[in-house]
Amino acid sequence: MTRLGREAARHAVTGAAAPNQNDIIRNRLRQQPLTRTAMTSRIRTLTALLIAAAALPAQAFDLMEAWQQARGYDASFAAAGYDRDAGHEKAPQGRAGLLPQVALSADYSRTNLIQPSVAGGNFTTHGVGVQLTQPVFDVSKYTGYQKGKTSSALADTRFAASEQQLIVDVAQAYFNVLLAQDTLASTQATKKAFASQLEQAKTAFEVGTATITDTHEAQAGYDGAVAQEILAESDLEIKRNALRRLTGLDPLAVQAVTPALPLDQPTNVDLDGWIAQALANNLDIKAQEQNLALASQDLTEKRGQRLPVVSLTAGYKDNTDNSTLPAHTRASSVGLQLTLPLYAGGGINSRVREAAANENSAKDKLEATRRQVREQVRQAYLGVTSGAALVKAQQQLLVSAKSKLDSTRLGKEVGVRTNLDLLQAEQEYYNDQTQLAKARYNYLLAKLQLAQAAGQLGPQQLAEVNAYIVR
């Protein structure tokens, strides 16, 4: 019987709960000291496991998964959530000004009478009291309550705008990575073609069928492709870092957009309809409208400082004063208190003028935001409509460029086209590939930007774009 078997049998005889085999092995390893050889073996095994784990491919993700990850990773979005929570506290703070204010007070004092000097001239005073104050008429406090509700709603609007902006930012970073990858691939293909042409030119020059000019042209094209490749690699690394900053995901695992991209036009609503929707639903406009409401309420609050304030007061006082008779007294009181400012050094009028200027500023900012949103809607609408036409045009241009490349390659073989003609045709073809990819990504991004401008961007619109991602 093995050692493990004997240990299991011993637990069975004693009636104790028999540990599983992993527990027995773990206990034996703890009891036995490790030799240098065993320790080295374990370290090598652990190192091998870590290397194997690092070598595993990153988990592929699409646009929707990148956005979901960014919601929990992006620090700016997390800060927007806390800003919303802080803004929600404005409502109870404003409401508190309309509720009763209750305060407890207590005092104690000892007096040593110096003049005139009498026997027993030392006495103490102490007491405790409760005071309640309830506003009856106070324009400033009522307006503060309204401002608290508006500020709380403004916090929700700003957070909703942050959610929409996060969708656009993630999509922009995602498509930037794809475009940078496509650009690098086209640059590398151009470099490979130029390298092949350079090799052929050198061979032709050595056998005397071409001039040194062909070699120099091919060398210049190859050197230019090398420089472009360096720039493309640097740009790709920058775009990947931007996506990683937003999502925390490995940008090497982004999924590509399907080649057969449906080119949908906006819904049956025309441009004027989209503008009308934006003016009614755009979150930037809504936030500025709430800012204007806050400014108007602030002006009302400042003007209210000129009006009388009426408060209901009630109190109870239990007091002991050894210098008077009777020494112990208890009293309650109820009354109305009116306060009317007569002169405050001009501060109230100054604050009113300041609030009026802020209100006018908020009105102009609202109008500026509306004009800006109209422009954003026009740009995004054209980005979708003209973008779809541009994608089709670029697709046809790529077909034509491929035909031109094939014809130029054949013409060079029969001697009617030069090496420079072939290099230019190859460069144009790969450049058209990049332009087609750029048009496709701009079209998809414009769909999201149009929904954002109209105040309709959400997970559903993102899912529609994500449906074009290859899985």
The reported pLDDT for the residue numbered 422 is 81
Confirm if 191 and 400 have CB atoms less than 8 A apart.
no
The reported pLDDT for the residue numbered 419 is 74
Query: Which domain range does residue 377 map to?
Result: 63-98+139-306+370-467
> Residue 362 domain-assigned?
no
CATH (domain of 451): 1.20.1600.10
The answer for 45, left when phi > 0, alpha when psi is -120 to 50, beta otherwise, is alpha
Count of CB atoms situated within 10 Å of the CB of 159: 19
Percent of the chain's residues with pLDDT above 70: 86
Rounded mean pLDDT of 443-457? 94
Tokens of 303: 């003007």
> Residue 20 domain-assigned?
no
Domain count of the fold of the chain: 1
pLDDT tens-digit map of 96-113: 999 999 999 999 988 777
The reported pLDDT for the residue numbered 199 is 86
> Residue 296 domain-assigned?
yes
Kindly tell me if the per-residue pLDDT of 115 is higher than 80: no
DSSP assignments along 22-36, one per residue = HHHHHHHHHHSPPPH
pLDDT tens-digit map of 318-372: 988 877 777 788 999 999 999 999 888 899 999 999 999 999 999 999 999 999 9
pLDDT tens-digit map of 116-160: 655 556 778 889 999 999 999 999 999 999 999 999 999 999 999
> Residue 430 domain-assigned?
yes
The reported pLDDT for the residue numbered 12 is 43
pLDDT tens-digit map of 425-448: 888 888 999 999 999 999 999 999
User: Strand, helix or coil at 133?
Assistant: strand
pLDDT tens-digit map of 335-344: 999 999 988 8
pLDDT tens-digit map of 52-85: 444 445 688 999 999 999 999 999 999 999 999 9
Kindly tell me if the per-residue pLDDT of 286 is higher than 70: yes
pLDDT band at 11 (very low <50, low <70, confident <90, very high): very low
pLDDT band at 299 (very low <50, low <70, confident <90, very high): very high
Rounded mean pLDDT of 273-282? 94
The reported pLDDT for the residue numbered 196 is 84
The reported pLDDT for the residue numbered 246 is 94
Torsion on CA atoms 117, 121, 122, 127, rounded to nearest 10: -130
Q: Identify the CA nearest to 246 among candidates 328, 321, 179, 167.
A: 167
pLDDT band at 50 (very low <50, low <70, confident <90, very high): very low
Return d(Cα 56, Cα 468) in angstroms, integer. Answer: 27
* 8-state DSSP, 253: G
DSSP assignments along 49-116, one per residue = HHHHHHHSPPPPB-HHHHHHHHHHH-HHHHHHHHHHHHHHTHHHHHHHTTS-EEEEEEEEEEEE--SS
User: Which amino acid is it at 226?
Assistant: V
Rounded mean pLDDT of 188-216? 83
Return d(Cα 64, Cα 12) in angstroms, integer. Answer: 55
Tokens of 370: 């509306």
> Residue 30 domain-assigned?
no
User: Strand, helix or coil at 316?
Assistant: strand
Confirm if 87 and 158 have CB atoms less than 8 A apart.
yes
Q: What is the mean pLDDT of the chain?
A: 85
Rounded mean pLDDT of 264-288? 89
Return d(Cα 443, Cα 386) in angstroms, integer. Answer: 9
Kindly tell me if the per-residue pLDDT of 227 is higher than 80: yes
> Residue 324 domain-assigned?
no
The reported pLDDT for the residue numbered 23 is 55
The reported pLDDT for the residue numbered 381 is 93
> Residue 42 domain-assigned?
no
